[in-house]
Amino acid sequence: MTTGVEFLPCIVAFCCVHSAYQAADAAGRMRIPYPENIIMVHIPCAGRVDTLHILRAFENGADGVVILACHEGACHHILGNIRAKERVERANALLREIGVDGRRVEMRTCAPNDGSRFARVCHELEEKIKELGPSPLRKHA
């Protein structure tokens, strides 16, 4: 009899509608499974994500946050993914200041038709956050 409960991380994925969101659809159409504990947030462009959105995700119980954007040079709004990258770096720095591992936030890119990459990235993130364990920023019961 096992007493431990497997840790299922809560990962918030901000998905650009021009790339990752379509890639998630593609993964679905191709019947490629990806973790059900990824909470997808539909965004018009990765550049819409603010540092505050990332912090708020942690306040609301996320164990990890990822911004899934268009590949560099392929942003429909030209610089949205570059700006998102800067904000991820800022959020990392703010989390490190609190004493939290900055690896809990990251940015990945994917093409709209690349469902298999989307699924692979989600699995990688899940594994990484499982290794890091539950977020120390979760609200105490």
Which pair of structure tokens corresponds to residue 39? 């909470």
By CB under 8 A, residue 137 contacts other proteins: yes
Stretch that binds other proteins, among 26-34, 48-56, 72-80, 116-124 (CB under 8 A): 48-56
26 touches other proteins by CB under 8 A? no
DSSP per-residue letters across the chain: ----------EEEEEETTTHHHHHHHHHHTT----TTEEEEEES-GGG--HHHHHHHHHTT-SEEEEEEPPTT--TTSSHHHHHHHHHHHHHHHHHHHT--GGGEEEEE--TT-HHHHHHHHHHHHHHHHHH-S-TTSPP-
Task: Give every CB contact of residue 136 below 8 A, 6+ residues apart in sequence.
Answer: 99, 100
Please say which residue, 33 or 133, places its beta carbon nearer to other proteins. Answer: 133
Q: Considering beta carbons, is residue 34 or 58 the nearer one to other proteins?
A: 58
For other proteins, give the closer residue by CB, 71 or 96: 96
Under the binding rule (CB under 8 A), the answer on residue 139 touching other proteins is yes
Residue from the set 51, 74, 77, 116 that interacts with other proteins by CB under 8 A: 51
Contact present, 34 and 123 (Cβ < 8 Å): yes
14 lies in the site for other proteins, by CB under 8 A: no
Query: Which range of residues in 2-10, 18-26, 28-36, 55-63 is near other proteins by CB under 8 A?
Result: 55-63
Residues in 66-105 at the binding interface with other proteins, rule: CB under 8 A: 94-95, 97-100
Residue 33 touching other proteins (CB under 8 A)? no
Q: Give the residues lining the site for other proteins (CB under 8 A).
A: 50-52, 55-56, 58-59, 94-95, 97-100, 136-137, 139-140
